[in-house]
Amino acid sequence: MTVHEVEPFNAEPPRSALATSELTPVDAFYSRNHGPVPDVDARTWRLRVDGLVSTPLSLSLDDLRDRFAERTETATLQCAGNRREGLAAVRDIPGEAPWGPTATATASWTGVALADVLAAAGVQDAATDVEFLGADVSDQADPPQEFGGSVPLRKAGMPEVLLAWAMNGEALPAVHGAPLRVVVPGYIGARSVKWVHRVRVTDAPSSNFFQASTYRLLPPDAEVTATPGEGVELGLVAVNSDFLAPDDGSEVPAGPTRVSGYAFAGGDRTVVRVDVSADGGATWTQADLAEQASTWAWRHWHASVEVPQGDVELLARAWDSSAALQPERPEQVWNPKGYVNNSWARLRLHGV
């Protein structure tokens, strides 16, 4: 793992660790934290469901297992800061980790549908949003605050949104949110709140620091302040892709070379095409796309490209089912917090 920060713990795996299987092994799954990993006792832990509901609930893990049907969904998580490195190369982004292309990963998540829990609580007519609060306290907010965020009620009511206690069939590790985390497929990773202990039904988007003041897209010339409501709230993940093999900077035999990577689009959009170029974008080869494990999962892809003698920069770009194409250059999407770098993927190889 490349450890960007020890406390809070922030780390991403080498590209190769994501290349071999559609489901990312748990020990290769990136970790993104804003405070210390909380020590939660699963026996005394309860999930409170309150706010605009007719029957507030307090549920133990056994209650969740006993009262609701178990569901498993394969979903990709992608941090809004994934690939920030490419933006930081354009212009400095102080105070934010220079994430490479692997602050994203895919797991099969097991738990219960949030929709079923909301139905048991009875959502009132005035409700518009559902907020999640985690047990970790982050001093990145002033004063320090629990990590939280919300999604629109219409998303919260979809069957793919889970309260999950397992990933890839194993009990959720502490660093990934044990005993319970939210999984909001198609949304930026920040909405998949770990160590969730409260689900609050509301009539407005969350005023939590990590939604109202950060994870927002500011115009390039904006100053970074913590004023709530500035810029645009991030939600659905934009179409994105990157290379997974070979590694950046590798020496390879000149000639036809197999390259592979991932592509992902949020919301209920899917990846429909990936192009790869070895001549700066003059000509493109369409990559072969692997079957998608679910609507909510990335697509692995591979292609054979002609690598010349010497240095070459390969390009990759994905299209989604709304015909959106990744923008060409990081300069075009640069923003002061370094979110959503979905510019074309670039990989340097040296043909020998």
Interface with Mo ion (CB under 5 A): 32, 79, 189-190
Could you tell me the two tokens for 310?
């010497």
Q: In the complex with ligand MTE, which residue's Cβ is closer, 163 or 193? A: 193
Query: Which residue, among 109, 101, 80, 87, has the nearest Cα to 16 in the 3D structure?
Result: 101
Assess contact for 207 and 233: CB atoms under 8 A. Answer: no
Q: In the complex with Mo ion, which residue's Cβ is closer, 4 or 32? A: 32
Nearest distance from C-beta of residue 80 to ligand MTE, angstroms:
7
Q: In the complex with ligand MTE, which residue's Cβ is closer, 120 or 137? A: 137
Nearest distance from C-beta of residue 199 to ligand MTE, angstroms:
13
Q: In the complex with Mo ion, which residue's Cβ is closer, 79 or 315? A: 79
* Residues in CB range of 92: below 8 A, 6 or more apart: none
Angstrom distance (rounded) from CA 245 to CA 211: 34
Nearest distance from C-beta of residue 162 to Mo ion, angstroms:
18
Nearest distance from C-beta of residue 297 to Mo ion, angstroms:
18
Assess contact for 116 and 51: CB atoms under 8 A. Answer: no
Residues that bind ligand MTE (CB under 6 A): 29-34, 77, 79, 134, 136, 147, 176, 189-190, 192-195
DSSP letter (8 states) at residue 27: G
Angstrom distance (rounded) from CA 82 to CA 100: 6
Query: Which residue, among 226, 312, 318, has the nearest Cα to 269 in the 3D structure?
Result: 318
Could you tell me the two tokens for 45?
């832990």
Assess contact for 308 and 318: CB atoms under 8 A. Answer: no
* Residues in CB range of 278: below 8 A, 6 or more apart: 305, 306, 307, 308, 312, 314
Angstrom distance (rounded) from CA 192 to CA 169: 18
Q: In the complex with Mo ion, which residue's Cβ is closer, 28 or 127? A: 28
Nearest distance from C-beta of residue 36 to ligand MTE, angstroms:
10
Angstrom distance (rounded) from CA 51 to CA 41: 25
Nearest distance from C-beta of residue 70 to ligand MTE, angstroms:
20
Please tell me whether the peptide bond between 179 and the residue prior to it is cis, using omega within 30 degrees of 0: yes
Q: In the complex with ligand MTE, which residue's Cβ is closer, 195 or 296? A: 195
What does 299 interact with, of Mo ion, ligand MTE, none (CB < 5 to 8 A by kind)? none
Q: In the complex with Mo ion, which residue's Cβ is closer, 64 or 79? A: 79
Nearest distance from C-beta of residue 190 to ligand MTE, angstroms:
4
Nearest distance from C-beta of residue 85 to Mo ion, angstroms:
15
What does 335 interact with, of ligand MTE, Mo ion, none (CB < 5 to 8 A by kind)? none
Angstrom distance (rounded) from CA 50 to CA 193: 17
Q: In the complex with ligand MTE, which residue's Cβ is closer, 301 or 339? A: 339
Assess contact for 132 and 194: CB atoms under 8 A. Answer: no
Angstrom distance (rounded) from CA 180 to CA 40: 10
Nearest distance from C-beta of residue 31 to ligand MTE, angstroms:
4
- CA atoms 162, 168, 170, 171: torsion sign: negative
What does 167 interact with, of Mo ion, ligand MTE, none (CB < 5 to 8 A by kind)? none
Angstrom distance (rounded) from CA 207 to CA 141: 12
Q: In the complex with ligand MTE, which residue's Cβ is closer, 31 or 341? A: 31
What does 34 interact with, of Mo ion, ligand MTE, none (CB < 5 to 8 A by kind)? ligand MTE
